[in-house]
Amino acid sequence: MAQSRARLLLVALAGALALVGCGSGGQAASNDEFEVLYLGGLSGPLAPVTAQSVAGLKAAADMLNERGGVNGRRVVVRTEDTQEDAARATALAQRELMGSDKPDVVWAGATSTNAVAMAPVTTRAGVLSINQAQTPDLYAPSTYPLTFGFLPSADELTRLTLTHFADAGVTRIGVLASNDVFGQSFRTAFERRAAALGIEVVAEDFSTTDLDLTGSYQRIVAQEPQQIFINTLGPAAGRIMDARLKIGATDIPTVLGTGLMATGDGPLSYTSPQALENALMSIYTTQRYVAGDPDAPEPLRQFYTHYAQYAPKVGPNSTAQIAWNALVTVGAAAEQAKSADGPAIAAALEDLTPPDQPLWTPMGDFTSLTKDVHIVAANDDLLSFVVPVALTEGGFPDRG
């Protein structure tokens, strides 16, 4: 009798486990939740950047939940630390996505290198993947049909930056780019686009691991550019600016790319005012506003309202806005598809009807995604070029 009761208990337990484990096609095990899994370097040199992404996702989740969630399901954000190491990121993605209990959406990495490493895993798993990586290889729908980028590409940012140079009458630009996927995306874009505007580009790469970058800076100066453009992300930003000061190149007008803006608390947090003489930094125009600014667009006011409780103590909030925009847009697509299935949301993103009152901030055209283009286009006023100022409440508001 005892054995019979034991067998009955085992059968009941097995049935219960089977019910709990139900879920396929990228849907989370709980039908009551719409799960977003953040896979990024929560520790390490890019931790401030990833903290902003997580804050943006959580802020968007709160806002969506106030409005009934996604198709009636409560939005939850879960995180795993990849340490921004590509091998670890791939292993974690395989662990999280190859079982039956999958998240509905994955945010894949803080850098292009890690996003590219995880893309094959999310594709095989049938899970929608969103990120801010700017390498064009990631957004080939024939290869990665479920991967979407919510920050306009390096090519689009370069288009706007070259317009700034052309308007200033510059005809010869020196490009200093880090030798990683991020930096090379910008170098390639400059070399591809500049000739159409009558601008000549000379370029020099630098290693993100070298402690002394004066050699790279000297070589670009030796090519006599009228102005210089620099882009990298992370600790190398401070070293390349130190090299500028050390070799006495502050007399050459210089534009700092968005990577230098997004590092630390902005340029003034990792280099001296002297190294920033005669320099402008690229910022997203939305960063001219801070919380409580009456002139801020309504979506930006909503962002600040929900972001406040999660705002990290370090870093510009542009990365948080990108994550907010991504989840807000995915939520709208899921509602349009009436589904949490990855392919269904992807199809809706490719033909998205904007809500009556869109809540994405003006950091791109979020209805520009198509079956052939999986990264948002830039609005023409996306970037502003400003004198470096101290970070205030995550932004760089006008001082005058």
Give tens-digit pLDDT for 14-23: 343 333 333 3
Say what the pLDDT of residue 313 is: 85
Dist CA 325 CA 159 (whole Å): 22
Name the average pLDDT for the chain. Answer: 90
**What SS3 string covers 324-338?**
HHHHHHHHHHHHHHC
Start-to-end C-alpha separation, the chain: 85
Q: Which two tokens stand for residue 201?
A: 């580009």
13, pLDDT greater than 80: no
Say what the pLDDT of residue 314 is: 81
Give tens-digit pLDDT for 24-36: 333 444 578 999 9
The arithmetic mean of pLDDT across residues 250-267, rounded, is: 95
The arithmetic mean of pLDDT across residues 41-50, rounded, is: 86
Sequence-distant (≥ 6) Cβ neighbours of residue 260 within 8 angstroms: 230, 231, 232, 233, 237, 241, 267, 281
197, pLDDT greater than 80: yes
Say what the pLDDT of residue 30 is: 57
> Which superfamily does CATH assign the domain made up of 33-152+300-349 to?
Response regulator (3.40.50.2300)
DSSP string, 108-173: E-SSHHHHHHHHHHHHHHT-EEEE----GGGG-TTT-TTEEE-S--HHHHHHHHHHHHHHTT--EE
3-state SS assignment for residue 25: coil
The domains spanning 33-152+300-349 and 154-288 adopt the same CATH topology: yes
Say what the pLDDT of residue 399 is: 56
Domain with residues 154-288, CATH architecture: 3-Layer(aba) Sandwich (3.40)
234, pLDDT greater than 70: yes
Say what the pLDDT of residue 17 is: 35
Confidence of residue 49 (pLDDT cuts 50, 70, 90): confident
Backbone φ, ψ for residue 108 (5° rounding) = -105, 85
Dist CA 202 CA 251 (whole Å): 18
CA dihedral 235, 239, 244, 248 (to 10 degrees): 150
Residue spans of the domains in the chain: they are 33-152+300-349, 154-288
